[in-house]
Structure formats: structure tokens, C-alpha cells
Amino acid sequence: MSIRELTDKRRKREKRRSHIRKDISGTPDMPRMTVYRSNLHLYVQVIDDIKGNTLASASTMEKQFSNLRPTVNSGSVIGEEIGKRLMEKGITQVVFDRNGYKYHGIVKAIADGARKAGVKF
């Protein structure tokens, strides 16, 4: 891939992201769960946009998940972990923000893992 193709790809994702974010917002009752994936790691945050607080997070950068790479299996593990952390805090329902990524593969695995832990979307 050339540099131009990479910047076009990033620009398109940012455009999709802004279209999604104008409709999705997290509240204390129903926070926003956002996903970011890089070439090496996966990150999930649950955010209350009104206060601007991160309520819970999980990523493959944590010591217990350091052996995981951004794959579908790792996505489901991270999704289950964020689901457990949310259930411990008493949060049962979130708004899912795919952050401009297509809803398949890793992003879908994260959502399915969180659902498996008991979180509703």
C-alpha cells in the first residue's frame, strides 16, 4: 500500500466515524462502548460523554492479555473481559460505537463477547 492509499483509508474511516458519532452519545444510564484496533493491539473503552469519564476499559496492552494479538479470538476475550468489568460496576446496557470500522470480524467478536458476559446493546 502506498502512503496515499493509507491516508485515504484513514480519511474514509474518520468520515464514517464522524457520521456515527453525531448520532451516538453515552449517558450515565447508557454509556458508550467504543472500540479501537491497531495493527498490534485492541482497545475497548466505556465512556460517559456527559461527564467525560471513562467508566471501564480493557486492552491487549494489559499484562494479563499481553500474549493476545488483534484476532477474532482475542476480540472475544477482550469483549468478555469488558463485559465482566461492566457487570461488576452494575452497568448492564451500553451503546456500541464501532468507531468507523465495519461491523464484522474483530469488532463483531468484541460485541459478541460483551453480550456473552451479559451486557445489552
Please measure the distance between the N-terminal and C-terminal CA atoms of the chain and give it in whole angstroms. 36
> What are the backbone dihedrals phi and psi of residue 92, each rounded to the nearest 5 degrees, phi first?
-110, -15
Residue 39 CB neighbours (<10 A): 6
In this prediction, residue 10 carries a pLDDT of 87
Strand partners, 44: 35, 58
Domain boundary assignment for the chain: 3-116
Give this prediction's pTM: 0.90
Q: Which CATH architecture has domain 3-116?
A: 2-Layer Sandwich (3.30)
Q: What was the pLDDT predicted at 34?
A: 97
Residues of the chain with pLDDT under 50: none
Q: Please give the pLDDT value at position 3.
A: 75
The per-residue pLDDT for 41 is 96
